[in-house]
Amino acid sequence: MRRRLSEPRRVVEEEEIAPEQIWSVSASSDYAWPAAWIASPSSVLDPDESTMWNARSFAPAWIRFDLGHAALPIERLELLPSMEPKVGTVEHRIRMGQNASSMDTVAIVGGPCRDREWIHCRFPQPRRARFVEILTTKSPSWVAWIRVRLWTERR
């Protein structure tokens, strides 16, 4: 009996997309309370976990990253939420596209979630896009991200 050799597994080294490589970060809204909080959308790129972006409302709410014309291939995302209550059921739609007005949903991440517990979303294949959006459609509380990390193939 002959055995078929399996296809070699694709091994990719990844690197986090540096904040200076991201052209801009926008959001459906933002809210700072108390006023001393830094709550702009770009705060999610800051490694300081005492800053965050906080929407003014419950779901739906979104945060969007413009990667510029380079449109890097995205391997995966890591999301660090801020939630009250500390545990709840969430749903986030990861949307990508070359145009902010016509993005496709490429992944849905959902289920039980905890405050300050990383959510990991790996794509089966890299997705090249100028815009990457996280659209929260279900959350037990306000929509807020402490940190968002985007990963690409190492060059």
Mind giving me the DSSP string for 50-92?
T--EE-SSSSSEEEEEE--TT-PEEEEEEEEE--SSSEEEEEE
Could you tell me if residue 6 is inside a domain? no
Euclidean distance between CA atoms 153 and 155, whole angstroms? 6
Residue 75 has what pLDDT? Answer: 93
Could you tell me if residue 121 is inside a domain? yes
**DSSP secondary structure code for residue 10 in this structure:** P
**pLDDT tens-digit readout, 90-126:** 999 999 999 999 999 999 999 999 999 999 999 989 9
Q: Which domain holds residue 127?
A: 14-153
Could you tell me if residue 5 is inside a domain? no
Residue 102 maps to which CATH number?
Answer: 2.60.120.260
SS3 call for 134: strand
Could you tell me if residue 1 is inside a domain? no
Could you tell me if residue 136 is inside a domain? yes
Could you tell me if residue 23 is inside a domain? yes
Q: Which residues of the chain have pLDDT under 50?
A: 1-3, 5-7, 36
Could you tell me if residue 7 is inside a domain? no
- How many domains does the chain fold into? 1
Residue 67 has what pLDDT? Answer: 94
Tokens coding 16: 């986090």
Which pTM was predicted? 0.86
